[in-house]
Amino acid sequence: MQSINEIFTAKQEIKKSTFISYLCPFDEFKTLHEKLKLEHPKAVHIVWAYRHYNEFFQIVENQSDDGEPKGTSGPPSLNALRGANLINCGVFVVRYFGGIKLGTGGLVRAYSTSVNLAINGANLIPFEIKDDCIFFIPFILTRKFEYFFEKENLQITNKTFNQNGCVVECKLTQNAFASLLEFSTNLENQGFNFLALPLFAKDFIRFS
């Protein structure tokens, strides 16, 4: 899987129609959609598609032809995202009609190539599933865990201190969670405790 962390654009003209594509991270999808509607009031179509993981790590997909003949624009755009193995991102293709009809096959090719132009110009990054993990570290183990965090380059999202220690919130990949689990083995008797586990913890821990 691959993803992106910024917006990439591309533009092409086909038989006097202009196609402007925007590839964006999924968390910017709604905001960008509203922005494009304001910036391109004279565009005849703003076709879109997206793929993302939901909270249960199931792939959610959707698309819209936005007035183009059914199946000629949204599905090809979505298929381009699938073909590039992209996740957690969306794409828009803004079309300014040039007066010449492209036909069904022409539209499919136009939208597919428009999305692929944006993908080809994008800085694609490897994607790994990350889920929330929360645990408590007593003060006596703080230095030991600080060394582990630095070594594993863990993404800590929040720390909350109390009189006994620190509650740590972070997002972990499966591999990072496996490393944390191995590292924390036998530390529960010193006060370490998991407070919330990622969904994929079931692959590593047997629950009774």
Write down the pLDDT at residue 167: 96
**Does pLDDT of 203 surpass 80?**
no
User: Model pTM?
Assistant: 0.78
Q: Name the average pLDDT for the chain.
A: 93
C-alpha distance from residue 120 to each of 88, 113, 124, 174, 175 (Å): 17, 10, 9, 29, 30
Write down the pLDDT at residue 94: 98
Write down the pLDDT at residue 208: 41
Q: How confident is the model at residue 55 (pLDDT cuts 50, 70, 90)?
A: confident
List the domains of the chain with CATH numbers: 2-126 (3.30.230.30), 130-203 (3.30.70.240)
Amino acid type, 143: R
C-alpha distance from residue 75 to each of 128, 166, 185, 186 (Å): 25, 48, 48, 52
